[in-house]
Amino acid sequence: MAALASASGAGRLVEGEAVLGLLGFYDELDNHSGQPNGSIRDAARPVGEPDEADLVAYLDAGHVLIDVMEAGHDVITGSAHRHSPGCSSLVTDGTWLWRQDFPHYLETHHISLPETFLEHVRSLNYQMPAITVAQFAPHYDETMPLVGWASAVPWRSAATTLVPEPRAVTSKAQFDAAMQDQDRPHGGWGKRRKSRKS
């Protein structure tokens, strides 16, 4: 339990600390209680951090570790969102681990973030770092069972360094605009229809 508590909070990889910090592993996202980050409803706030857009962009730029083929929805509103496809895929910056849909909850429900995560990202000037695989692997191996992925260890990678690569990520504004276009009637619904002959 001590390891779990440090995983949800600290997020600093130092000598003797074996787990990654965890973000977005909420009870409601896994359909049972006891997840590392508790209830998402307790973490939602009316207003986010002043630099929330930069924090969301940072999370969107993370290294995808495990790509899950699935579709999910917002567990608070029930709506589809920009990260619905592959929502529980796992993403990291080498120090923290989060679900791929965590940026959605941050920008939509202004989820509270650990101060150590905020300090970490701001110290990097919101730039995703490269990951040295040899240093990262032991932390990955210790963390994955905490989030229900014991079968994903040990870490296997042919690369020695994971370099951030640009990913095509739909923004919230783009997603919302596309959803509005989908809901808009197409064709000449505004025109008066001729009556049918019987």
Percent of the chain scoring above 90 in pLDDT: 46
Say how far apart CA 186 and CA 183 lie, in whole Å: 9
Say how far apart CA 113 and CA 19 lie, in whole Å: 18
Say how far apart CA 22 and CA 44 lie, in whole Å: 16
In sequence order, which residues have a C-beta less than 8 Å from that of residue 119 and are 6 or more positions away?
none
Question: Distance between alpha carbon 81 and the CA centroid of its chain, in Å?
Answer: 12
| DSSP code, position 43 | H
Say how far apart CA 43 and CA 105 lie, in whole Å: 10
> pLDDT for 35-92, tens place per residue?
888 899 999 999 999 999 999 999 999 999 988 877 777 777 767 656 666 678 899 9
Predicted TM-score (pTM) of this structure: 0.76
Q: Which helix (H) or strand (E) holds 9?
A: helix 2-9
- pLDDT of the residue at 117: 97
